[in-house]
Amino acid sequence: MNSMFSGCNSLTSINLYNFDTSIVNTMSEMFAQCSSLTFVNIYNFDTSKVTNMLSMFYDCSSLASINLSNFNTSKVNDMKNMFFGCSSLTSINLSNFDTSNLINMEYMFYNCSSLTSIDLSNFDTSRVTNMNNLFYSCYKLQYINILNFSFPINTYSFISLFDQYIPSSGTIIIKENFLNKIDGNYINRWNKSLS
């Protein structure tokens, strides 16, 4: 399903509830640049064999909410740019995501400028090698929970986690030894809840 609806920039809604996706292995760029999309029903998707969700919702700038609670991401290794440019997204529930095989999450929430909070405490990042600019230009983000994050192999990837602008105050829940790896210029005025 690579790029299946990519560039359908006048599409405002789509219902794919009855799609049988049980043998699909890639959904990369599936809705990329669907910039007018405000509703998408993919709740019934079987993603148990999917390994690639690269840029899946890239530049879906009108999408305010999306239900991914039924997604099985246990085999996914690439979520780079997955929500890149989803500037109308006000909240996102990724509590059911299994990221145990995830390797790349670079720019995953780039310019999600309407998000005020994000809880990734369930994320297993033990295999992640790239999380560069994960929260880049998340202008309204006030709460971040990355309590169970592990160090990426590339230490710089973590230092630049907050590159560009994020608010000058907020709360971050994080492991203390992980905090020392973050460039303090970005979160030195944040409340830090350490574990």
CATH class of 1-195: alpha beta
Q: How many Cα neighbours within 13 Å face the side chain of 111?
A: 11
* pLDDT value at 96 more than 80: yes
* pLDDT value at 129 more than 90: no
Q: What pLDDT digit, counting tens, does each position of 3-30 carry?
A: 999 999 999 999 999 999 999 999 999 9
**Bigger pLDDT: 181 vs 47:** 47
- Paired with 171 in beta bridges are 143, 191
* pLDDT value at 183 more than 60: no
Residue 141 binned pLDDT confidence (cut-offs 50, 70, 90): confident
* pLDDT value at 195 more than 60: no
Nearest-5° angle of CA 99, CA 103, CA 109?
Answer: 75
Nearest-5° angle of CA 95, CA 98, CA 100?
Answer: 135
Token code pair at residue 60: 């879906």
| DSSP string across 70-104 | T---TT--B-TTTTTT-TT------TT---TT--B
Mean pLDDT (whole number) for 67-77: 96
Rg (CA), the chain: 16
What residue segments make up the domains of the chain, in order of their start? 1-195
Q: How far is the C-alpha of 132 from the C-alpha of 110, rounded, in Å?
A: 10
User: What are the Cα distances from residue 43, in Å, to 17, 40, 54, 122, 161?
Assistant: 6, 9, 19, 20, 30
